[in-house]
Amino acid sequence: MMYIIAKDGSGDFTTIQAAIDAIPGGGRAPAILLLRMDEYHERVIVNKDNVRIVGEARDRTVITNSACAKDPDGNGGERGTFLSFTMIVTGKNVEVENLTIRNDAGDGREVGQAVAVYAAGDRGVWRNCRFIAHQDTLFCGPLMQKVTDDIAPRVGSAECVESVGDCPLTFSRQYFEDCFIQGDVDFIFGPYRCWFERCTLFMNARGGLYTAANTPETQPYGLVFHRCFLTGECEEGMAFLGRPWRRFSRTLFLDCEMDGHVARQGFSDWDKEKVVTERYGEWGTRGVRADQSTRHPAQKRLTDAEAMAVTVQDVIGGYDGWRPDRRTPTWFLCGDSTMADYPASRAPMTGWGQMLQALLPENVFVENCAVNGRSSKSFVAEKRLNFIELCLRKGDKLLIQFGHNDEKDDPMRFTSPRGTYPEYLNMFIDAARRQGAEPVLITSIVRRRFDGNGKLIPTHGDYPAAMRDLAGYRGVRLLDMEKATGQLVGALGDEASKDLYNWVPKGHPNYPDGEQDNTHLCREGALRFARIALDLMEEKPC
């Protein structure tokens, strides 16, 4: 499931929240929300599980709001830190990538805290994102009662606590990769276990503290920064690595580069009770601030062995062995109605791509982007390939099945088998390879059409042969579904093969007049064809 969000009305939704609210939930593969380049002035609540939000361009796809702690609460008081967010994630298995999330409320000395992101759900993943604010930019921690009351009914599956003060043991985790995080006072804070990989921490001109962990006493890890870069625009020495929000907080910087903005002291005490301990530490620091001789006397200088023992798996792996640094590969399906998903109202009609997810192991996702009536030409013209390319990553597969509608006598869809057809297929191949994904060409499944002697009649003309030739020329894996499904349907014969297609007797609730469809499959046929595709996938590629 992929939704396009575009403020100009060219997508499926004009607001992010409307798209999130429309996600049905329950699927193993994440629902994908693709945000077109624009500035979205919204307060976003991601309360659904298994969601992937992708921006079209990191610096030009922006979610922004201007709420702050000093905003009135309507009862004569102030709303406070935790209701000032621009985006809050309360679902689990939510991935956000390639966009900017800002809080534009302004300087904390005037507006108080102003959170850009409140990461409350478990197994949150943030890749190539920018978080920009001033005081308290990024909070990683559970929901409090005032927050659940405020966002109800969009509470989601996040942990809840009475108070985030002396926080009890938490189980939720967050992973940040190649992100840019900007702020000044305590701008990365909270009790969750978080791993930051190759992130840039940028201190505003005011100066302050990069972190303020609130790690529970019995929790072995809090905030861990690995191969990150610390810089800023404040005066030299005015950026401290962090301070303990509570007594047992833990923060580690491993193999990080620090420039002159970072204070020679490194960490700082909060007050006389909340002081730096050996739960704060560094290892392998590089850059201007590599010399640890001037650091806070109580902080830990990790040995090589101790540093090597701090891994992603140990810090955030948890009971389920979560490894967000190892992406789950996704198979993106590009094709026509024989591959597409169908709602219950169209049953028993089923696209063979609809059955793939149930047959694949749990460590593979299927994103079925096939659409009824599309040819290779019209799929590209509607920019569907552009949207999918934005979501493709190394290790993914792009499965490409077109031909049924390329044959149509329609200028919007027709391609010539030895001319424009391979030209459009090349666009799919190139898009996949640009992103490090594997393109897979798939010849069209056969139509159920027999001659008077009971022999299956080929109906796709020269298109399958053209695809076979292109696969050989470009060195692309080919699933010859025309040949394989033709062998199955031909062997079954004219009568028995009806059980594979959408042949429905009169009186069916979805087809009162019955249906005799020799192109589209029923559930049993889709399942058998999906198994054929997987068998072909396991064969040695060309």
Beta-carbon contacts of 102 under 8 Å, excluding residues fewer than 6 positions away, are: 62, 63, 64, 65, 86, 116, 130, 131, 132, 133
Domain hosting residue 379, numbered range: 330-538
Residue 17 maps to a domain: no
Residue 7 lies in a domain: no
pLDDT tens digits along 307-352: 999 999 999 999 899 999 999 999 999 999 999 999 999 999 999 9
Amino acid symbol at 36: R
Model pLDDT for residues 94-137, shown as the tens digit of each residue? 999 999 999 999 999 999 999 999 999 999 999 999 999 999 99
Which of 462, 538, 448, 540 lies closest to 497 in space, CA to CA? Answer: 448
Report the pLDDT value the prediction gives residue 542, as an integer from 0 to 100. 46
pLDDT, average across residues 464-469: 98
In-domain check, residue 20? no
Domain identity same for 258 and 396:
no
Give, in degrees to the nearest 5, the angle at Cα 499 between 494 and 501.
90
Q: Is residue 322 part of a domain?
A: no
pLDDT digits (tens, 9 = 90+) for 297-319: 999 999 999 999 999 999 999 98
- Grouping H, G, I as helix, E, B as strand and the rest as coil, residue 430 is helix
Residue finishing a domain among 287, 316, 345? 316
* Class of residue 68 by CB neighbours under 10 A (exposed 0-12, middle 13-18, buried 19+): buried
Residue 34 in tokens: 């693709």
| pLDDT score for 169 | 87
With respect to residue 33, please indicate whether it lies within any of the assigned structural domains.
no
Last residue of a domain, one of 291, 316, 341: 316
At 167 the pLDDT is 77
Cite the beta strand spans of 340-386 per DSSP E: 365-368
> Could you tell me which residues come within 8 angstroms of residue 195 by beta carbon, excluding any fewer than 6 positions away?
173, 174, 175, 176, 224, 226, 312, 315, 316, 324
Q: Is residue 457 part of a domain?
A: yes
337 and 261 within one domain: no
Q: Are residues 284 and 347 in the same domain?
A: no
User: Does position 149 have pLDDT exceeding 50, yes or no?
Assistant: yes
**Above pLDDT 70, what percent of the chain?**
99
Q: Is the pLDDT of residue 55 over 80?
A: yes
Q: Are 177 and 197 in contact (CB under 8 A)?
A: yes
Identify the residue with better confidence: 538 or 380. Answer: 380
User: Mean of the per-residue pLDDT values for the chain?
Assistant: 96
Tally of structural domains, the chain: 2
Q: How confident is the model at residue 163 (pLDDT cuts 50, 70, 90)?
A: confident
Over the stretch 172-221, which tens digit does the pLDDT of each residue have? 999 999 999 999 999 999 999 999 999 999 999 999 999 999 999 999 99
Do 239 and 345 belong to one domain? no
| Model confidence band, residue 57 (pLDDT cutoffs 50, 70, 90) | very high
pLDDT score, position 540: 61
CB neighbours of residue 135 within 10 Å: 28
Same domain? For 294 and 368 the reply is no
356 and 304, same structural domain? no
Token representation of residue 222: 């809090």
Same-domain status, 145 and 248: yes
pLDDT band, very low/low/confident/very high, at 452 (cuts 50, 70, 90): very high
Do 268 and 351 lie in one domain? The reply is no
465-470 — which CB contacts under 8 Å span 24+ positions? 465/417, 466/417, 466/418, 466/421, 466/422, 467/403, 467/421, 467/422, 467/425, 467/441, 467/443, 468/443, 469/422, 470/422, 470/425, 470/426, 470/441
Last residue of a domain, one of 269, 291, 316: 316
**d(Cα 271, Cα 279) in Å, to the nearest integer?**
16
Does residue 29 have a pLDDT over 90?
no
Q: Report whether 126 contacts 177 (CB < 8 A).
A: yes
Provide the token pair at 207.
């100066």
Q: Are 96 and 158 in a shared domain?
A: yes
The stretch 273-295 carries a mean pLDDT of 94
Residue 25, pLDDT > 90, answer: no
Does 373 lie in the same domain as 307? no
* Domain match, 152 and 299 both: yes
Does residue 24 lie within any of the structural domains? no
Domain at 375, CATH number: 3.40.50.1110
Would 31 be classed as within a structural domain? no
pLDDT at 541 exceeding the cut of 70: no
Domain match, 306 and 438 both: no
